[in-house]
Amino acid sequence: MGDYTGATEDLLHVHFGLLIFVVIAILFRRRMHSLWPVSMVWAFALANEAVDYFGVGYQVDLSALDVVNTVLWPTVLFLVARRRRISPPLGGLEQVAPERAV
């Protein structure tokens, strides 16, 4: 695919990792803080490297780089979404305005 698009293999891994993350989240109606989309990205990345191992040859350093390129940004988005979900707002707790006397 790199020959067709002119993109490098590394760039294709980054784009496909993000594409898998977003498509799985949309198809299965999961949010970014769900384990499901990020787990699928990891599964696809590791499956791709297994295909490379049995098919075209295996180089540990290049395969590790492929996995990192594929999973890095989906994992970062997942962690940011998890952090925003469990941490309190920056301004602290909102204060409720007292009721007016009628």
Average pLDDT score over residue span 64-75: 94
Confidence band of 55 (pLDDT split at 50, 70, 90): confident
Alpha-carbon dihedral angle through residues 87, 76, 42, 10, given to the nearest 10 degrees: 180
Give the least confident one: 12-16, 76-80, 83-87.
83-87
Per the model's pLDDT, the better-predicted residue between 24 and 5 turns out to be: 24
Only one residue has tokens 């594929």, namely: 70
What's the predicted TM-score (pTM) here? 0.74
Average pLDDT score over residue span 27-42: 92
